[in-house]
Amino acid sequence: MHPALQLILTIIFAVTVIGTVLVVISENRNPIRTLAWVIVLIFLPVVGLLCYYFFGQDTRKVRRLSDKYYRRLKKISLEEFLMPDSQIVLAPEYKPLAALLEKSNHAFLLQGSEVEIITRGPEKFELLMADLEKARHHIHMEYFIFYNDETGNMVKEMLMKKASEGVQVRFLYDNVANWFVPRRYYEEMKTSGVQVSSFMEVKLAAFHSKVNYRNHRKVVVIDGEVGYMGGMNIANDYRTDPNWRDTHLRIRGRGVYGLQANFIVDWLSSGKKIKPDREFFPVTGNYTNNLMQIAAGGPELSWRNLLLATIHLVTNAKQYVYIQTPYFLPDDSLMQALLAASLGGVDVRLMVSRKSDSPYVDPAAKSYYEELLRAGLKIYEMQGKFIHAKTMVVDDFVSVVGSANMDFRSFESNFEINCYMYDGEIASRMKKIFMDDAKVCKQIHLKTWQQRPRYKKFIESVMRLFAPLM
């Protein structure tokens, strides 16, 4: 290459990198996330530019849905179905959390639901298939992963069967997570009468603005009366792998209204039509004294509401906070909340896997251990199993089960959904589940942890620099 041309190209590339660094800084995002991108752009400029273009741009304020769909969403009102009973009584200390979720996401308090906590894949799919078989009016389903393996085909066949019987079946899947599922798989469903749509389909023209924002939700609604949500996707791992430990909920009653409202919004957002009539929100029984809120989180919202709710729960805990998560990559605000709670005498316990399904995440997660241990927080690593559950239980009263991990991606980029339950009996069950899981865990102790090899410490420190990008 001619030296003059080489110089020109070098200057252009340098200007591009410097310009991108300035753009990252000017976005006023999380300083730690900003610093991570600056480091990548400076030391790995080619890879950094490509990664930033596709995965790093902060487009939370940019519409990823067309004006047509926004107009359609504005026309619907779901509050008439979701407004809480005036007789609902919530303990004063939890009213701020309920208000936070309501104001940030219209997550209203819903009373009287029956809740079944599922911790085994075979049990979840046995219950789900039985409930799908009983469907008479509609089935609404959205999943992050829906593979064309034995489990996926089992559920697919049931959806097609119910559609042929005249049941309204709507199926929504994440486009990127299921890229390798052949299109004919969905075409076969459509032919049988199942209405199929992909959430925020990623096409080449819009690849850079959409590929980083995935629908991580797992939701099923059957006849507006029974619903499922939690951590389990539709794939063999979640049903047949004995070393896969997850948590899911089966909900019966008004709590299903929250799942239904979320599905309707997502269905409309995917470009499909649906009219939110009373038939999707039937009158249900009042089965228990349970109070719950179904709160969705995502980049379209003005607030990082699921992160704010987590911080609120941690900082206001009086006795204990028990957390289970497959990926632990907290931002600085959550990290400080955990440290403050533990140093303040709250029994804070974190349960993760010794080895997750993401080898580059593990060392980054372990880089947080020492500071947490020094503050008195207890860390448990599950041995021989991968814990995919995303749960919290606080002070024998509040329980959280959902799709959101304790990491940057879930709190900032993904479309997630969590269930917040105000119920002492459910909290007791959740606490017992945590304690039973702890029996197959190894507790990490500070002195032992500090004695690990220096090369591991170095790798963890390096990977932590990239934690905000994972």
Residues with active-site annotation: 216, 218, 223, 388, 390, 395
Nearby residues of 81 by Cβ (< 8 Å), 6 or more positions away: 257, 260, 261, 276, 278, 280, 281
Amino acid at position 206, single letter: A
Which of 442-448's residues contact partners 24+ apart within 8 Å by CB, and which partners?
442/354, 442/380, 442/381, 442/383, 443/378, 443/379, 443/380, 444/369, 444/373, 444/379, 444/380, 444/381, 445/373, 446/370, 446/373, 446/374
Q: Rounded to whole angstroms, how far apart are CA atoms 386 and 367?
A: 19
Q: Rounded to whole angstroms, how far apart are CA atoms 327 and 33?
A: 17
Q: Give the CA distances from residue 13 to residues 16, 26, 37, 38, 412, in Å, rounded to whole numbers and listed in that order.
A: 5, 20, 17, 15, 30
Which letter, b or e, does each residue of 227-251 get, where b requires 16 or more Cβ atoms within 10 Å of its Cβ? bbbbbbbbbebbbeeeebbbbbbbb
DSSP one-letter code for 344: T
Q: Rounded to whole angstroms, how far apart are CA atoms 363 and 352?
A: 13
Amino acid at position 35, single letter: L
